[in-house]
């Protein structure tokens, strides 16, 4: 069981918007920055969002991140079939002195 | 171009050992913290261990503490993971990943190396 909680799956139509939630506690999300990763089938994860809401160079502004209290959210607008992937949230847990990930959310673009 | 290339994976029996390596290129390796992250077949990501740029700070997941040892050689631009007392549940693809300087996030990942532990 993962330290951070994500919904197992979400789906939406092409062109629509979807949000993926990530829930934790004070010792992880509450006290630390959150990042988000996209993993396409058969490939290594790719950083989408770091420090709650910053995008690395090359990541389109269709992807956004936010944090409030002990929860974080990834938003994706203008969905494309190429966005079908697994998405993971991650952060540091100050109590565990360890990195932690969510269980992952599979995005289906219908 | 930033590159991280893992090697050393393979088949091993329970109780055995393996040493993974990660060769870094395209950036100043000695300036970055690096992590190991693993993914069991069909499962999610699991953080394994991290080491700071000068090896001053080292952390492990509880699931590997006492069995795995992370290390680095900045002169060789290399990261290592010594894995002892391997268990079936250690079977996974192991990725090395670079930490963004001054931020939270792993901005570059290797392609991974598969470790299979079975009798």
A104: left (phi over 0), alpha (psi -120 to 50) or beta: left
Q: Which runs of consecutive H residues, i.e. helices, occur in B9-102?
A: none
**pLDDT tens across B70-111, in order?**
999 999 999 999 999 999 999 999 999 999 988 889 999 999
| Chain A residue whose CA is closest to B41 | A42
- Token pair, residue B4, equals 């991280």
Percentage of residues in chain A with pLDDT exceeding 90?
Answer: 97
Q: What are phi and psi for residue A70, nearest 5 degrees?
A: -105, 20
| Chain A residue whose CA is closest to B45 | A101
**Mean predicted lDDT score pLDDT of chain B:** 97
Instruction: Flag if A97 and B111 touch (Cβ within 8 Å).
Output: no
d(CA B61, CA B77): 24
Q: Is A56 on the interface with B (CB under 8 A)?
A: yes
A92 and A106 Cβ atoms separated by less than 8 Å = no
Instruction: Flag if A56 and B107 touch (Cβ within 8 Å).
Output: yes
Chain-centre distance of CA B30, in angstroms? 16
A74 interaction partners in chain B (CB closer than 8 Å): none
**pLDDT tens across A58-94, in order?**
999 999 999 999 999 999 999 999 999 999 999 999 9
């Amino acid at each position: 069981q993962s330290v951070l909680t994500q919904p197992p799956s979400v789906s939406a139509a092409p062109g629509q918007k979807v949000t993926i939630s990530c829930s934790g506690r004070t010792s992880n999300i509450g006290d630390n920055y959150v990042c988000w990763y996209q993993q396409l089938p058969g490939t290594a994860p790719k950083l989408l969002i770091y420090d709650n809401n910053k995008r690395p160079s090359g990541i389109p502004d269709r992807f956004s991140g936010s944090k409030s209290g002990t929860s974080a959210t990834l938003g994706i607008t203008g969905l494309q079939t190429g966005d079908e992937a697994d998405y993971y949230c991650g952060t540091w847990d100050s109590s565990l002195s360890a990195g932690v990930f969510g269980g992952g959310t599979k995005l289906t673009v219908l | 171009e930033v590159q991280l290339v893992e090697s050393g994976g393979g088949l091993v029996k329970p109780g055995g050992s393996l040493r993974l390596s990660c060769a870094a290129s395209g950036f100043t390796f000695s300036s970055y913290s690096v992590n190991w992250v693993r993914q069991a077949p069909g499962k999610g990501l699991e953080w394994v261990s991290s080491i700071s740029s000068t090896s001053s700070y080292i952390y492990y997941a509880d699931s590997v503490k006492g069995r795995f040892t992370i290390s680095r050689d900045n002169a060789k631009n290399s990261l290592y993971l010594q894995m002892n007392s391997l268990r079936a549940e250690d079977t996974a693809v192991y990725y090395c990943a670079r930490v963004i300087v001054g931020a939270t996030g792993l901005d570059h990942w290797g392609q991974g190396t598969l470790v299979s532990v079975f009798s």
